[in-house]
Amino acid sequence: MDIRHQFLSLRAASLFFAVIGCGVIASYAAGRLLPLWISAFILFLSVAALVAFLIAGTVGAISFLVYGFFALPFVHLIPYLFFDWNYQPAHLWIPGDLTIWGLATNPYMFDLETIKLTAELGAAGVSGLLAGMFARYARPEGRNDGFWKNVPPKTLNIVWFYGLLAMALVASKLASPARTIFEAEYAGVGTSSESLNFGSLGLVSYSLIILCLVDAIFDSNRRTGIWKLVALVCSILYVVIWLQFARGDRESIPMVIACAILFWRWGAPHFARSKSKIVALRALAVALVIVVMAAGFVLQSLRQNLVGKNLSDIVSIAEQSYSDLNPVGSKLSTSAATPRAAEAAQQPTGRGVLFDRIDRIIPKGTWSAVMLTPLSVAGDSLRGQLPMKLGQTYLDLILSIPPGFVASRLGYHRPIDADHGPAHEMRYGQGGTHAVVVPFMNFRIIGVVLILAAWGWLFASVERRTSNIDPPWAIQKVTAYGMTCAIIPQWIWYGEKILITGFFIWLAISAFYLFAATGRVAVDRSFARKNI
């Protein structure tokens, strides 16, 4: 497909999803909820459109991550296409007897109108998101995806680099729990950053690591760049394994994904000298992400049960946890599961055979708990228990910009902090809010469509602008690209405040880098540019 046809296709797709978004708004305004299958079909169309443009090379990693993390929780609505709505649960809130999405059930999960509105929120969100994204991508813009065309950007000398990396490790250490999950119960131990009242210290650490990776990739002296990369990989492994996983935390996973994307796009072509080596390095980056994500998935089910245990106990505990969570699909004997779970697994639930089967095979994770928040606002809205805030939450976000340690010194109370904010207003939830929640709380469906369209336009703009890496600001632009990739999951699943925090952190480390960076060295750019 040539450039002209790509732009025409993007404009047509943007208009198509804009029309769908308007249709969803009109239906909601008329007091009619879309049938569940129509919302599901809109979600399916959005997946097909994004994948098609991704294969064509029209959209990039940032847009893919935004859409992927946005839509993933709504995968739990698929089984409801086969739900028996005559089902009436005899009891609720009994783990092992009744679970949906791998979570204890609540009344909203069994209400047809609530599920329809929840699905409609997803359909409205993806319609606005893709309309904004595709509209931005449809605008022609000069682009340099490869390495610099003229002179290379300034990079850090080895002393400054190791100093910056040490700062990242110290920040990560302060942001991690003081004891491991073998010594204390997960979430039962605080961090040093809490006493400092600096909750964003972890994000500072990951941002510095991303900056160090970009510096290593863009160092025009390959030998120095390789030494930087070795030190950086060792530091990342230390942070992920010891400071995060050993303490039950998984916040570093988005940072690992962001680093892998940066290495795939710019690192492998810079450090390798042949196409086969580029492929091998990219495969290694992908393998690392898969291993880290798999380990994080296993950690989720183990971290509450390891106090007083050692590494040799992990396998048996993992088998027990898997049997408890999946008594039907487990290859272990039913006797390995808890008696309540095993007995429940052998009995039909009455919710529909296909519903139960599909619900069991859909992977469960953080996104499952996140799905409780659109469900909560949908159910509360239908019952007249969700007042429309008309932008108050966004005003509170602006008023909450000062860091905690600054606000406490000034005696200023931030409207949104660790103990206040939309996440604490959810009827059902386990922390955080999905990206559709705040727009719906403030402006209902029209807010979901328009605000998500604005976010789609913004993130597509970030992708476009940071892809042009000619000096000046080449290092800072690619760092912004990596930080955006790392922040996306937390924004979509935990709230908008991290976007504001991330922007100010980027400004600070960019200014520091501008001061610390030193001279340029000539580099052979031809092969790298040719193979990006």
DSSP 247: G
Sign of CA dihedral 478, 435, 404, 206: negative
The two structure tokens encoding residue 518: 């030193």
The structure tokens listed for 117 are 């509105």
Task: Quickly state the pLDDT bin for 532 (edges 50, 70, 90).
Answer: very low
Q: Mean pLDDT, to the nearest integer, of 491-499? A: 89
**Cis, bond preceding 472 (omega within 30 deg of 0):** yes
CA triple 222-267-214, angle to 5 deg:
85
- Residue 141 scores a pLDDT above 70: no
Question: Residue 50 in contact with residue 130, Cβ under 8 Å?
Answer: yes
Q: What integer pLDDT is reported at residue 67 of this predicted model? A: 95
482 touches 420 (CB < 8 A): no
Asked if residue 302 belongs to a domain, the reply is no
Picking from 40, 57, 61, the residue whose alpha carbon sits closest to that of residue 123 is 40
Give the mean model confidence (pLDDT) for residues 311-328. Answer: 56
Arithmetic mean of pLDDT, 160-169? 94
The yes-or-no verdict on residue 311 having pLDDT over 80 is no
Give the best-scoring range by mean pLDDT among 65-69, 250-254, 511-515: 65-69
Distance in angstroms (rounded) separating the CA atoms of residues 220 and 234: 22
What's the predicted TM-score (pTM) here? 0.85
Domain that holds residue 34: 3-142+366-455
- What pLDDT was estimated at residue 454? 96
Model pLDDT, residue 522: 37
376 lies in a domain?
yes
Mean pLDDT of 372-384: 95
Give the per-residue pLDDT at 97.
Answer: 45
d(C-alpha 340, C-alpha 342), whole Å: 6
Q: pLDDT tens digits, residue range 274-296?
A: 889 999 999 999 999 999 988 88
> What integer pLDDT is reported at residue 1 of this predicted model?
55
Residue 202: is its pLDDT beyond 80?
A: yes
Cβ atoms of 134 and 14 within 8 Å: the answer is yes
Q: Is residue 46 part of a domain?
A: yes
pLDDT value for 5: 79
Confidence of residue 73 (pLDDT cuts 50, 70, 90): very high
Q: Is residue 54 part of a domain?
A: yes
Share of the chain above pLDDT 90, in %: 46
Per-residue pLDDT, averaged over 417-421, amounts to 80
pLDDT of residue 330: 39
Among 426-430, 469-473, 505-509, the range scoring the smallest mean pLDDT is 469-473
Q: Tell me which residue of 505, 491, 423, 432 sits closest to 458, measured CA to CA.
A: 491
Element holding 100 (H helix, E strand): strand 99-100
Q: In which residue are the tokens 């039907």 written?
A: 328
In the block, tokens 């660790």 appear at 418
Residue 419 is assigned to a structural domain of this protein: yes
Place of tokens 């995806």: 145
Residues 6+ apart with CB under 8 A from 411: none
Task: Yes or no: say if 471 and 150 are a contact pair by the CB < 8 Å rule.
Answer: yes
Please indicate, yes or no, if residue 56 is contained in any of the structural domains. yes
- CA–chain centroid gap for 173, Å, is 22
CB 177 within 8 A of CB 189: yes
Phi, psi of 341 (to 5 degrees): -65, -40
Q: For the stretch 331-348, what's the b/e string if a residue is b when 16 or more beta carbons lie within 10 angstroms of its beta carbon?
A: eeeeeebeeebbebbeee
- Count of the separate structural domains present in the chain: 1
Quick check: 402 pLDDT over 50?
yes
- The average confidence (pLDDT) of the chain is 83
Return d(Cα 162, Cα 175) in angstroms, integer: 20
Q: Per-residue pLDDT averaged across 498-517, rounded?
A: 90
What is the tens place of the pLDDT at every residue in 28-67? 999 999 999 999 999 999 999 999 999 888 888 999 999 9
pLDDT at 479: 94
Which of 10, 23, 25, 77 minimizes the C-alpha distance to 451? 25
Confidence band, pLDDT 50/70/90 cuts, at residue 98: low
Q: Which amino acid is at 41?
A: F
Residues paired with residue 420 on neighbouring β-strands, in sequence order? 417
3-state secondary structure of 348: coil
Pairing of strands 99-100, 103-104: antiparallel
Cα 186 to Cα 306: distance, rounded to the nearest angstrom: 9
Q: Whole-angstrom Cα distance, residue 130 to residue 406?
A: 38
Report the pLDDT value the prediction gives residue 42, as an integer from 0 to 100: 96
pLDDT digits (tens, 9 = 90+) for 209-235: 999 999 999 888 888 989 999 999 999
The pLDDT tens digits of the residues spanning 76-97 come to 999 999 998 887 765 554 444 4
Task: Identify which of 405, 400, 420, 412 has the alpha carbon closest to the alpha carbon of residue 198.
Answer: 405
- Residue 104 φ then ψ, to 5°: -60, 140
Q: Is residue 464 in some structural domain?
A: no
Pick the range with the lowest mean pLDDT from 168-172, 225-229, 318-322, 526-530.
Answer: 526-530
pLDDT of residue 524: 41
Residue 66 belongs to some domain of the structure: yes
Instruction: Among 140-144, 300-304, 330-334, name the one with the lowest average pLDDT.
Output: 330-334
Q: What is the pLDDT of residue 94?
A: 45
Angstrom distance (rounded) from CA 379 to CA 295: 35
- The one-letter amino acid at 225: G
What pLDDT is stored for residue 526 in this prediction? 39
